[in-house]
């Protein structure tokens, strides 16, 4: 019995000694960066960027960049750390070394312009297209993509009922074998910027086909705007991409803090049935992004939905109108009109190059201050009823006048006090106004242009940028 007791005491002593030994050894914590910080990334130029990660609690973290900038901090009680680093005007490739309990070195880093890109399927649509749905010029885009100055971080689809702190994904370097997977709209936007600015362009892309604007909006903003809206407490089995806040939580929230210059957005089809609230919703969504990013009123440039043969009673023109009105609601915004490049039988129009270019024109003019760059088509401004039964329309954003570029002017309707619209004739005048009339409406009071699901665009300014559909009434 004594021998057994001695063995028990010896075993207990060994266990205590073993526990004591391991208590003084380093923990399994290691230096980690948030997953968006990898080789090949692009950091915003000429500013102070955020870089963050985790390590042991109380660990000294030092960051050294090969452009001769350094920063240091100590991780908090949860092991989290966040550093700020000054960036040069542009260039690369550079390296960044992070030293904590371990050392990490990031290679092939470029300094340039960084844009966040989001929306639904028309933003997500890659250069290689969808099955049986091509992107025009995709082969040429891939063939000429030997430009490693354009890079994309693609966020995979994911939903969460709680805001997440990290994401999966990788930075892709633009090349013929990778660019097919880039968002086509975002890539053409970046290509035009890179050609004009001659600096690297980084795209952080998070989109999901069929997603609603509510899905990309945080819960607090939605509760303020729509207190009746139910925020899911579980990820649903169906229509995940429509669930309020769930895509924001998983695909956007972890990116907040990654220093960007602005955002581009291509979404709206999924919100057609709620067009009345779209302007306020997007304005609230963007302002909450801006507040959380803490970078002021960064640019937000978006695409108006293209014509498509929706059901006859679908209020598509009213959704385009809501998107146009958002320009007046949302500070530092811009809208690319696609009225002339839609496809009545395909909700994913193939001409993504024109879309990307038009977004780039807005950025080059408004964000980068390039003078002489037209970035908007004609915007209806005012009307005047003439003595001979016509309505003269005047426009902003048409300094050099209007044009149909050889097409007959069509898509105009005119109505009297009875609110019955009749097909109208239109004529461009030398004073840069547009006259609209119909023999069937001798006393007109209102005009509409392209106010249908899938109209043909015929009205442009002389820079070949189309006017949005519009109406002079509020009936």
Structure tokens at 334: 């811009």
Q: How far apart are CA 53 and CA 36, in angstroms?
A: 10
pLDDT digits (tens, 9 = 90+) for 366-390: 999 999 999 999 999 999 999 999 9
Q: How far is CA 472 from CA 16, 317, 421, 445, in A?
A: 84, 13, 12, 9
Model pLDDT for residues 184-208, shown as the tens digit of each residue: 999 999 999 999 999 999 999 999 9
Asked if the structure places residue 26 within a domain, the reply is no
Q: Where are the alpha helices (DSSP H) in 267-401?
A: 275-293, 316-329, 352-362
Pairwise pLDDT comparison (2 vs 339), residue with the higher score: 339
The residues, any chain, with a CB within 8 Å of residue 178's CB and separated by 6 or more, are 145, 172
What order do you get walking across the sheet with 391-396 strand by strand? 379-385, 391-396, 434-437, 425-428
Per-residue model confidence as pLDDT tens digits over 204-244: 999 999 999 999 999 999 999 999 999 999 999 999 999 99
Q: Are residues 172 and 253 in the same domain?
A: yes
Q: pLDDT value at position 16?
A: 38
Among 346, 152, 166, 162, smallest CA distance to 264 is for 152
DSSP string, 208-265: -TT--TGGGS-HHHHHHH-TTSPPPSS--SS-GGGSTTHHIIIIIGGGTTS--SEEEE
Q: How far apart are the first and last CA of the chain?
A: 100
Q: Given 367, 399, 417, which residue is the final one in a domain?
A: 367
Whether residue 356 sits in one domain with residue 249: yes
Question: 321 and 244 share a domain?
Answer: yes
Token pair in block for residue 114: 């960084």
Residue 78, in any domain of the structure: yes
Three-state SS string over 141-162 comes to HHHCCCCCCEEEEECCCCCCCC
CATH number at 181 reads 3.40.50.1110
> Phi and psi for 391 in degrees, rounded to 5?
-120, 125
The token pair that represents 18 in the structure block: 């073993």
Q: Are residues 252 and 345 in the same domain?
A: yes
Residue 292 lies in a domain: yes
Query: Domain tally for the chain?
Result: 3
**Domain-terminating residue out of 311, 345, 367:** 367
Q: Which of 308, 259, 254 has its CA nearest to residue 122?
A: 308
Determine the average pLDDT of the residues in 99-121.
Answer: 98
CA dist list (Å): 453 to 157, 307, 404, 426? 30, 6, 20, 21
Give the confidence band of 28 by pLDDT, cuts at 50, 70, 90: low
Among candidate residues 448, 449, 450, 453, the one with its CA nearest the CA of residue 475: 448
Is 123 part of any domain? yes
**How many Å apart are CA 111 and CA 261, to the nearest integer?**
12
pTM given for the model: 0.93
Q: Judge whether 468 and 320 are in contact, CB under 8 Å.
A: yes
CATH number, domain with residue 50: 2.60.40.2550
277 and 335 in a single domain? The answer is: yes
Q: Which of 428, 405, 424, 406 is nearest to 472 (CA)?
A: 424
Summarised one tens digit per residue, pLDDT across range 321-335 is 999 999 999 999 999
Q: Which of 367, 401, 425 is the last residue of a domain?
A: 367
DSSP letter at 363 equals I
Number of H helices, E strands in the chain: 9, 24
Q: Are residues 72 and 201 in the same domain?
A: no
For residue 375, being part of any structural domain is answered with: no
pLDDT at residue 147, as a whole number = 79
pLDDT in tens, 395-425: 999 999 999 999 999 999 999 999 999 999 9
Indicate whether 119 and 55 sit together in one domain: no
- Read off φ and ψ for residue 352, nearest 5 degrees: -80, -20
User: Does residue 355 share a domain with residue 343?
Assistant: yes
Q: What are phi and psi of 233, to 5 degrees?
A: -105, -5
Asked if pLDDT for residue 146 goes beyond 80, the answer is no
Domain annotation covers residue 4: no
pLDDT in tens, 272-329: 999 999 999 999 999 999 999 999 999 999 999 999 999 999 999 999 999 999 999 9
CB distance 260 to 116 below 8 Å = yes
Q: Confirm whether 11 is domain-assigned.
A: no
Res 23 pLDDT > 80: no
The neighbouring-strand residues paired with 446 are: 415
The SS3 of residue 429 is coil
Shared domain for 203 and 93, answered yes or no, is no
- Is 319 found in the same domain as 273? yes
Domain that holds residue 464: 380-471
Average pLDDT across the chain, whole number: 93
Task: Name the nearest CA neighbour of 45 among 261, 368, 192.
Answer: 261
| pLDDT category of residue 338 using cuts at 50, 70 and 90 | very high
Same domain flag for 181 and 251: yes
- Work out the percent of the chain whose per-residue pLDDT is above 70: 94
Q: Distance (Å, rounded) from C-alpha 379 to C-alpha 404?
A: 15
Same structural domain for residues 243 and 307?
yes
pLDDT at site 391: 98
Within a domain: 20: no
């Amino acid at each position: 019995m004594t021998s057994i007791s001695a063995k028990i005491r010896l075993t207990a002593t060994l266990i205590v000694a073993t526990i004591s030994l391991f208590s003084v050894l380093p923990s399994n914590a290691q230096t980690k960066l948030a997953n968006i910080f990898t080789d090949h990334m692009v950091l915003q130029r000429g500013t102070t960027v955020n870089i963050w990660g985790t390590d042991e609690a109380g660990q000294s973290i030092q960051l050294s960049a090969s452009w001769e900038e350094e920063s240091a901090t100590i991780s908090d009680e949860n092991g989290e750390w966040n550093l700020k680093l000054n960036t040069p005007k542009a260039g690369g490739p550079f390296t960044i070394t992070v030293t904590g309990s371990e050392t990490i070195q990031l290679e092939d880093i470029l300094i340039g312009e960084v844009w966040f890109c989001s929306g639904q399927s028309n933003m997500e649509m890659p250069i290689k297209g969808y099955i049986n749905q091509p992107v025009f010029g995709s082969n040429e885009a891939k063939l000429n993509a030997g430009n490693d100055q354009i890079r994309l971080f693609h966020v995979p689809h994911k939903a969460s009922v709680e805001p997440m702190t990290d994401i999966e994904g990788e930075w892709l370097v633009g090349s013929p074998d990778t660019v097919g997977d880039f968002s086509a709209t975002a890539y053409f936007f970046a290509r035009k910027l890179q050609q004009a600015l001659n600096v690297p362009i980084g795209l952080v892309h998070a989109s999901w086909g069929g997603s609603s604007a509510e899905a990309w909006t945080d819960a607090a903003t939605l509760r303020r705007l729509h207190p009746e809206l139910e925020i899911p407490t579980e990820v649903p089995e169906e229509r995940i991409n429509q669930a309020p806040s769930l895509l924001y939580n998983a695909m956007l929230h972890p990116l907040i803090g990654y220093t960007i210059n602005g955002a581009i957005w291509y979404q709206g089809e999924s919100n057609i049935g709620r067009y009345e609230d779209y302007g306020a919703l997007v304005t609230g969504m963007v302002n909450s992004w801006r507040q959380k990013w803490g970078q002021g009123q960064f640019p937000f440039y978006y695409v108006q939905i293209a014509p498509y043969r929706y059901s006859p009673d679908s209020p598509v023109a009213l959704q385009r109108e809501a998107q146009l009105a958002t320009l007046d609601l949302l500070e530092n915004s811009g809208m690319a009109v696609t009225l002339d490049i839609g496809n009545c039988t395909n909700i994913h129009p193939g001409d993504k190059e024109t879309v990307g270019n038009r977004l780039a024109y807005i950025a080059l003019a408004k964000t980068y201050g390039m003078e002489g760059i037209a970035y908007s088509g004609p915007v209806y401004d005012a009307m005047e009823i003439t003595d001979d039964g016509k309505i003269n329309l005047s426009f902003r954003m048409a300094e050099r006048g209007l044009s149909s570029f050889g097409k007959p002017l069509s898509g105009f309707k005119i109505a009297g006090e009875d609110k019955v619209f009749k097909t109208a004739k239109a004529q461009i005048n030398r004073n840069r106004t547009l006259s609209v009339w119909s023999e069937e409406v001798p006393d007109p009071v209102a005009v509409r242009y392209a106010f249908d699901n899938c109209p043909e665009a015929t009205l442009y300014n002389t820079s070949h940028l189309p006017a949005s559909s519009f109406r002079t009434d509020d009936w």
